[in-house]
């Protein structure tokens, strides 16, 4: 048997939650038998470094306690059948093969297909599974619920087929795999989903992929608040996201030409040979106004990730908070991916005791993350409740849209 991945958990969980019981019951009802293997994949919040990953520059996310569970039973053929305890997601079925035709854009089944197709292109004759999914990661909120689904399904295929692959290799493969759904994303979400360490955030560097865990000081609290605006990656937000990736590439090409460095020079190479200030000088002389703003966001955001890492290691909550607020201003003004609700949330948080606050993830809606100390957290949560959520419609309970993120561990697969 091939060596199992680092995500294979040998210790059985001792407490079975109500959610797990419900998942097992739903599996038995759907398939008339019991599930034998479980993959758990966390959501994530990005603390700083947005729209840098696809430019090969660092990010600093952490996994959160909200997760997705995929309960499975192996099949002897290559079929995947998947149902979801949330019945808004209709059952799906397909064959694992090298070219899998996608469902309509936005269909949840595309995230199952994305991982399956990428793995089939590397490994022959993979067997599939029957699965039931349960997730408490808020959907379309910039908390990576879709990556959690793709990763859970990919890990399950690897585990059931005894395929060995290194963590960094799998992270890179899955980052490319998710392009299947049409978004030209970077590798942050797949990497943190797999590699997160408990009680820690991670600095992630790309080319080559490297995760560096940074312990979160015990008195720090990250408050997550949904803007209640759905960041639908399958719709208009996808077009805006992809247009930002094009603009960043175009800006890079023009700046490298102006600097007379070889074609194909990356943002990372540029930044290791010149200061952000020098590069901005070149950008201002070379690029039209929109591209100057995009370029400025990318290089200043990468510097903020370096500074934020130092601030977290030094337990300097005010410095980290200030960097988060600067990041928000840059995403709002230079990258133009914020919205009124996210701006409003950051103002309420910083006005009620948070050291800093920013949108998290791609933007266009989704969540805000605010940093405060354990002493200030109640004041911040109360202010957000009173000034943002009261009087607004939200279908879920308040704790589904406003909660404290606990730095959590990455994905695991186990026998149940
Ligand atoms: P979210 O927030 O999940 O839409 C997206 C990309 C990331 C990264 C961020 C912006 C995917 C799967 N994820 O995340 O790679 O570019 O936007 O920092 O496309």
Q: What is the pLDDT of residue 14?
A: 59
> Under 8 Å CB-to-CB from 149, ≥6 apart: which residues?
41, 68, 70, 108, 111, 112, 133, 135
Quickly tell me which residue has 């689904």 as its tokens.
149
Q: What is the pLDDT of residue 1?
A: 33
- pTM given for the model: 0.95
Nearest CA to ligand 1 atom 4: 362
Q: What is the pLDDT of residue 271?
A: 94
Domain 18-45+62-214+409-415 has CATH 3.90.320.10: no
CA of 400 to the centre of ligand 1 (A): 21
Torsion of CA 5, 191, 100, 149, to 10 degrees: 90
pLDDT tens digit at each of 416 positions of the chain: 334 567 777 655 556 789 999 999 999 999 999 999 999 999 999 999 999 999 999 999 999 999 999 999 999 999 999 999 999 999 999 999 999 999 998 899 999 999 999 999 999 999 999 999 999 999 888 899 999 999 999 999 999 999 999 999 999 999 999 999 988 889 999 999 999 999 999 999 999 999 999 999 999 999 999 999 987 666 777 888 999 999 999 999 999 999 988 888 999 999 999 998 999 999 999 999 999 999 999 999 999 999 999 999 999 999 999 999 999 999 999 999 999 999 999 999 999 999 999 999 999 999 999 999 999 999 999 999 999 999 898 876 899 899 999 999 999 999 99
Give dist(CA 353, CA 380) in Å, integer. Answer: 6
Pocket of ligand 1 (CB under 6 A): 50-51, 53-54, 142, 144, 147, 178, 183, 185-186, 188-189, 233, 361-362
Q: Is 246 exposed, middle or buried (0-12, 13-18, 19+ CB in 10 A)?
A: exposed
Rama region for 214: left / alpha / beta (φ>0; ψ in -120 to 50; rest): beta
CA 284 to mean position of chain CA atoms: 32
Q: How many CB atoms lie within 10 A of CB 198?
A: 14
- The pairing of beta strand 79-84 with beta strand 129-135: parallel
Q: How far is CA 48 from CA 212, 314, 364, in A?
A: 14, 16, 16
Note whether 68 and 144 are within 8 A (CB): no
What one-character-per-residue DSSP string does 217-281 give? PTTEEEEEEE-S----TTTHHHHHHHHHHHHHHHHHHHHHHHTT--TT--HHHHHHHS-HHHHHH
Q: Which atom of ligand 1 is nearest to the CA of 361?
A: 2
CA of 126 to the centre of ligand 1 (A): 29
Torsion of CA 237, 238, 243, 248, to 10 degrees: 100
Q: What is the pLDDT of residue 239?
A: 86
205 is catalytic: no
Q: What is the pLDDT of residue 237?
A: 79
CA of 125 to the centre of ligand 1 (A): 31
Q: Which of 189, 294, 331 to mutate to test the pocket of ligand 1 (most atoms within 8 A of CB)?
A: 189
Choice among 67, 189, 334, 376 that is catalytic: 189
């Amino acid at each position: 048997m091939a060596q199992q991945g680092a995500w294979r958990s040998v210790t059985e969980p001792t407490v079975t939650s109500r959610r797990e019981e419900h998942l097992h019951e739903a599996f038995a009802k759907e398939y008339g038998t019991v599930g034998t293997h479980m993959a758990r994949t966390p959501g994530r919040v990005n603390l700083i470094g947005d729209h840098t990953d696809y430019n090969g520059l660092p990010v600093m996310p952490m996994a959160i306690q909200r997760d997705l569970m995929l309960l499975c039973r192996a099949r002897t053929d290559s079929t995947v059948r998947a149902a979801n305890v949330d019945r808004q997601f209709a059952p799906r079925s397909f064959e694992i093969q090298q070219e899998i035709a996608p469902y309509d854009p936005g269909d949840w089944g595309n995230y199952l297909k994305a991982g399956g197709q990428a793995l089939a292109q590397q490994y022959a004759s993979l067997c599939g599974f029957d699965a039931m999914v349960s997730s408490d990661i808020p959907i379309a909120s910039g908390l990576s619920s879709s990556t959690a689904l793709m990763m859970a399904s990919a890990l399950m295929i690897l585990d059931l087929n005894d395929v060995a692959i290194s963590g960094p290799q799998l992270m890179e493969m899955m980052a490319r795999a998710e392009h299947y759904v049409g978004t030209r994303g970077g590798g942050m979400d797949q990497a943190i989903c797999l590699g997160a360490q408990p009680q820690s955030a991670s600095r992630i560097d790309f080319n080559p992929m490297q995760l560096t865990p940074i312990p979160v000081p015990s008195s720090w609290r990250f408050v997550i608040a949904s803007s209640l605006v759905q960041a639908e990656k399958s719709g208009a937000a996808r077009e805006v996201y992809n247009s930002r990736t094009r603009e960043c590439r175009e800006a890079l090409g023009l700046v490298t030409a102006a600097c007379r460095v070889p074609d194909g020079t990356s943002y990372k190479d540029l930044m290791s040979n010149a200061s952000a200030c020098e590069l901005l000088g070149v950008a201002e002389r070379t690029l039209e106004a929109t591209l100057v703003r995009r370029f400025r966001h990318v290089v200043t955001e990468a510097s903020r990730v370096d500074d934020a890492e130092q601030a977290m290691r030094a337990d300097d909550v005010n410095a980290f908070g200030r960097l988060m607020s600067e990041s928000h201003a840059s995403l709002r003004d230079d990258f133009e991916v914020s919205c009124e609700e996210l701006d409003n949330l950051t103002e309420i948080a910083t006005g009620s005791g948070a050291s800093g606050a920013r949108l998290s993830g791609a933007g266009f809606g989704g969540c805000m993350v605010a940093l405060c100390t354990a002493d200030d957290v109640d004041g911040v949560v109360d202010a957000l409740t009173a000034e943002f959520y009261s009087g607004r419609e939200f279908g879920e309970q308040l704790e589904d849209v406003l909660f404290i993120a606990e730095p959590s561990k990455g994905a695991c697969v186990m026998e149940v």
